[in-house]
Structure formats: C-alpha cells, structure tokens
Amino acid sequence: IAHDDNVFRLPSGESTTGIGAVGRPNSSTITRLYGQANLDVSASRQRFLAQFTVSDYRFSGLSYLNYTAPEFRGAWLWQAGERWQGEVNYNHLQSIASFLDTRPFERNLQTLDYASASGEYALTPNWRVGGAVIGYTADNSAEASRAANVRQLTGELGVRYLATDGNYVRGFGAVSGGDYPGRTASALFDDSYSQTDFGVDVLYRV
C-alpha cells in the first residue's frame, strides 16, 4: 500500500482542472496485490531462472487508472566446455506511464519487451572476449503516446579482464538501430535513428 500526493506531477498550486481532469483528485492511495512464481533449475552446467508475476493495481479516487499487469523474467545461464559461457534473457514488463513529462488524463500502459543473447570465450584464465545481441521494444496503450513506440536492435563486442578475486574491467563497443513504427518522418521528428556507444564497466568488491 502506497500513497502518492501528486499523481499527475503538477506544479505547486495547480489543480487537475488545468489538465482536463475536472473533479479528479491529485492524490491517491495505491494498492498492489500480486502473486508470484519462481523457478531456479540447474542441469549439468546449465542454469534456468524464471519469474512470473501478476499484479493488480488499484488507485483510490482514480479508478480509471486501475490495471492488472502480467510480468515475466526468464534467463538461461549457459556454459559449453571449459571456455564458452553466456546468457539468454527475456523480460516482459508492463506498468502505468509516469505523468512526469506529459499529463494526459487518460491511462497509458507501457509494455516493455527485452531480449538478449550473449556469449564469452576465455582466451586465458584472465582474458575474455565476447559479444551480445540485444532487442528492445516499448509500446504505449494511449493513442496520444503511440508515436513514442520504439523498436531497437543492438550488437555489442567487448574484452574483459577478470582478476582472480572476481573483480573485472571490461571495455565494449555497441552499434544500435531503432525505429518508431507509429511516427511519420517530418521536419521536426524522425522515424528512425542509429547510435554508437563505447564504454568501460568496472566491478570492484570492497
């Protein structure tokens, strides 16, 4: 049970009338009731993880925001021989969009799907090279927000130095391509994009 005293993220002193929600409160007690099942199975060198959750959200005074959301998270942690290992992941999530950036008075449920497959090869006990393919989609239920629906596919390559105590340093490069299926290209908005990323990950346990 949670309480939100500014559901619509309004400036101080502004009422819901200004956003077309006449007579609706800007505060709500939010109740979440959920059920969850978890799976963790190991078979030889393989490990399978899964979590399925169904959550029911109720907003006092703002019943039109009520929703029921199924969620799934799954992973296969795989290993082949002594040198190959990696992960395959899939997440399906759903939640109500924040009113932080826009304040329509209609409910907007965002559905997120994330899938990835990665692999890493041990050149030596300390040095490893690897890559990944990552797919991501985000969909909005509200008509006014569907222009923000997005699809993205990323390819990534990296080199990792793994110390004997488990700490590591990893350098990587990634190339992504995405598109907005609900948007028509114009002088102000594009309907696709490309992106290049380079970075360093460091894990250090104190």
pLDDT score at 103? 62
Give CA–CA dist 116/132, Å, rounded.
Answer: 7
pTM of the model: 0.84
pLDDT over 90 at 23, yes or no:
no
CA-only gyration radius of the chain, Å: 22
What 3-state class would DSSP assign to 189? coil
Measured in Å, how far apart are the chain's first and last C-alpha atoms?
36
Mind listing the pLDDT tens digit for each residue in 133-147?
Answer: 999 999 999 888 888
What is each CA distance from 108 to 30, 83, 131, 188, in whole angstroms? 16, 46, 35, 24
| Angle subtended at Cα 33 by Cα 31 and Cα 34, rounded to the nearest 5 degrees | 145
Mind listing the pLDDT tens digit for each residue in 45-68?
Answer: 999 999 999 999 999 999 999 999
What 3-state class would DSSP assign to 72? strand
Instruction: Say if residues 14 and 7 touch (Cβ distance below 8 Å).
Output: no
